[in-house]
Amino acid sequence: MKVLIAGGAGFIGSTIASCLLDNGHQPVILDNLVTGRREFCEGRPFYEGDIADTAMLDRIFDEHPDITAVVHCAALIVVPESVERPVHYYRENVAKTLEFVDHLIGKGVTRLLFSSSASIYQPGDDFTVDENSALTALSPYARTKLIVEQMLSDITAATPIKVLSLRYFNPIGSDPKMRTGLQLRSPSHALGKLIEVYREGKPFPVTGVDYPTRDGSGIRDYVHVWDLAGAHLRALEVFDTLPFENGSLAINLGTGTGTTVLEFVEAFNQVADRAVEVAHAPRRPGDSAGAYTRSSRAADLLGWRAEHTVADGIRDSLDWFAQRERILPDLSDR
């Protein structure tokens, strides 16, 4: 199949593209390169542009009329930045998605995978969630994801397009073939920050140690990005068999195992060749205690389960950072 991936030059989108290629499918990449990398699009049909650029979308569909599905990964994702710049986040993540989807409908697209987030959940007392858990977004970033899901639900009820919202937990790792990985100079992901301070010989700031978790630090469900990519592959392959309700469906993508931030640092220190010290720091604006999934919906509907461990994700990320300067030479000062 041929699949348009919006945001396909970013960390997750480019890994999905690699997974599709490895399984005989053809990704077509649309990315404005605000955070994505041109290097990640080598050997793949690539269009540099914005998801709300209707002329660009017309060109893509004119040149690839056999696109059968769309994966929408294009979004800004940094929680503290969303608190500081909410107008920017609502414009980029919500308003432009509306324009994008409206144009997709006009092009006859009926299959859309939306990259959503587990940050929209209100966890239970045990920090677990499933797809029927209460929703309450605690940051402008998370609210953009929730608003887009609600908006898409209204749209699917009135149009032919069907939308599968894949609610990600915390991605770690890299493409096992080292084609792509974390691409930001100063990553906002916990593992990216850990590797950054590891390379600089600095302590790792654990932002928030007063949460009601077993050790006071936030709790997360760390899932390998290659497993996430595999879930997208499965979702595209079985899309037409899924039990949509009024054209919408949500599926959690996580390991089902909760790991606290302090436990994550401990796991990192067991894999790395030298330990990183921890420094306690206050919570950042928009931070939450976190959550992990207890759901089996991905296994039941997609036949998918995460196969990689936290240690696998840390090891692959360290391998990626050891050689990413070869792929992204402008980051060689790191």
Query: Which residues lie closer than 8 Å to 153 by C-beta, 6 or more apart?
Result: 163, 246, 247, 248
158: left (phi over 0), alpha (psi -120 to 50) or beta: alpha
Beta bridge partners of 164: 113, 249
Coarse DSSP helix, strand, coil percentages of the chain, rounded to the nearest 5 percent:
40, 20, 40
| Local structure of 207: helix, strand or coil | strand
Active site residue 292: no
Distance CA 228, CA 20 (A): 12
Single out the catalytic residue among 47, 141, 168, 292. 141
Structure tokens at 161: 């397009």
Please give the Cα distance from 202 to 141 (Å, whole number): 28
* Coil/strand/helix, residue 51: coil
DSSP label at 209? -
**Ordered DSSP codes for 288-322:** ----EE---HIIIII-------HHHHHHHHHHHHH
For tokens 């997709």, the residue is: 104
Give one DSSP letter per residue of 220-263, joined into a string: E-EEEHHHHHHHHHHHHHHGGGS--BTTEEEEEES-S--EEHHH
Distances (CA, A) of 47 to 1, 2, 9, 38: 19, 15, 10, 10
Q: Which residues are catalytic?
A: 141
